[in-house]
């Protein structure tokens, strides 16, 4: 759940692949940066990264990546409130890319509803409840319905869905805080372990250097001794 750290790591990976001149790897890291930008609600980072990923994928003929990039671009347009652009991309997407995953399905429902395609939106709402298996999925669906009812000016239903969403979301936040604490502990452990490995490596380097100096010295003494005897 440390999304900012994940974003930083993807950026570092992109820099290394750039140095190694591996364009397909670069394009994939840009895609991941765009995906993470959408997750942390940073449409600016997401748009920039995905646009660059699409451009690079086309240049290096990494066409398999393009459908995934388009899916993230769809999410980012919705996040940015650009519903017409999102709707246009939605028409081009393979429905399997958003009908089997509740968070993506919710984005599609909101875009369809905002753009007046309410029949298809209601079909996807039914689909969402069918595939909602986790507490997080249920949370997404209730939040989506609160937005839909609000859009239709059914404010009482919207408030009911919002209250249900809040109750579930508070439980998920508690889980997130626990996960964040565990992540912090793990980071400390691995940093400590890395420091110990670094110290051990430095010691080995010193021992190795001294050993080489000693061997060199003995070798020179042996040569000098043989020279004297002759």
Secondary structure class of 152 (helix, strand, coil): coil
pLDDT exceeds 60 at position 180: no
Contact at 8 Å (CB) between 207 and 214? no
Secondary structure class of 16 (helix, strand, coil): helix
pLDDT in tens, 140-162: 899 999 999 998 899 999 999 98
Name the least confident of 105-114, 123-132, 195-204: 195-204
Q: Which helix (H) or strand (E) holds 177?
A: helix 155-229
DSSP 98-145: TSSSHHHHHHHHHHHHHTT-HHHHHHHHHHHHHH--SHHHHHHHHHHH
């Amino acid at each position: 759940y440390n999304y900012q750290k994940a974003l930083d790591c993807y950026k570092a990976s992109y820099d290394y692949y750039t140095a190694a001149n591996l364009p397909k790897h670069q394009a994939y890291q840009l895609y991941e940066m765009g995906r993470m930008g959408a997750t942390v609600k940073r449409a600016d980072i997401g748009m920039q990264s995905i646009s660059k990923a699409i451009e690079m994928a086309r240049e290096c003929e990494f066409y398999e990546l393009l459908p995934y990039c388009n899916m993230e671009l769809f999410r980012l347009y919705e996040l940015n409130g650009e519903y017409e652009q999102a709707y246009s991309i939605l028409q081009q997407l393979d429905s399997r890319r958003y009908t089997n995953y509740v968070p993506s399905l919710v984005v599609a429902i909101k875009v369809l509803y905002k753009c007046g395609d309410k029949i298809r939106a209601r079909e996807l709402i039914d689909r969402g409840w069918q595939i909602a298996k986790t507490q997080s999925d249920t949370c997404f669906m209730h939040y989506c319905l609160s937005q839909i009812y609000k859009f239709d000016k059914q404010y009482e239903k919207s408030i009911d869905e919002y209250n249900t969403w809040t109750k579930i979301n508070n439980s998920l936040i508690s889980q997130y805080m626990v996960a964040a604490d565990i992540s912090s502990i793990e980071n400390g452990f691995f940093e400590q372990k890395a420091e110990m490995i670094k110290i051990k490596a430095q010691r080995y380097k010193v021992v190795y250097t001294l050993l080489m100096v000693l061997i060199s010295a003995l070798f020179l003494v042996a040569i000098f001794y043989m020279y004297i005897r002759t």
